[in-house]
Structure 1
Amino acid sequence: MKLQLNGVMTDTQATTLADLLQAEGLGEAKVATAVNGSFVPAAARTMHVLHPGDSVEVLAPMQGG
């Protein structure tokens, strides 16, 4: 399926957000996720089904002051 990951068109076999993160090497990373502009908490990623054309954003936390 084709979807956008951080603004880049990507072809993936992942069916859930958790599967996509695992496939991208981010399965254990502490990241924030959103699909089509809506925040998806870590606890909901295994149940969040992806669809062709979805826009997925994965953001790493930043430290600063």
Structure 2
Amino acid sequence: MKVTINGNAGELPDGMTVAEAVRTLTALTSGVAVAVNDVVVSRGSWESTALAENDRVEVLTAVQGG
């Protein structure tokens, strides 16, 4: 299926979940937020939220510094 992640169009397997998509982008286990089609997906819902054709996904990671 075609999806856009962080502004980049690409192909993902049908039925891929938010959790699986996040794992393809980062190994971080904390400090990560996800929105699908401009709606924030709570971390507790990542495993059960399947992505669909033409979804827009934004994966944000917290950055610390000064």
Shorter-chain TM-score range: 0.7 to 0.9
The one-letter amino acid of 1:34's match is A
RMSD, aligned CA = 2.0
TM-score, normalised relative to structure 1:
0.82
Aligned to 2:20: 19
Q: Shift of the alpha carbon at 1:15?
A: 1.3
Match of 1:52 in 2: 53
For residues 33-48 of structure 1, the aligned pairs below 5 Å read 33-48=34-49
Deviation >3 Å, runs of 4+: 62-65
Q: What CA deviation, in whole Å up to 9, does each residue of 1:20-64 have, x standing for no partner? A: 112223463531100000000111100111001000001112346
Residue of structure 2 equivalent to 1:6: 6
Q: TM-score scaled to structure 2, two decimals?
A: 0.81
The number of equivalent residue pairs is: 65
Give per-residue Cα distances to partners, 1:2-21, cap 9 Å, x unaligned: 10000110111261100111
One-letter amino acid of the counterpart of residue 12, structure 2: T
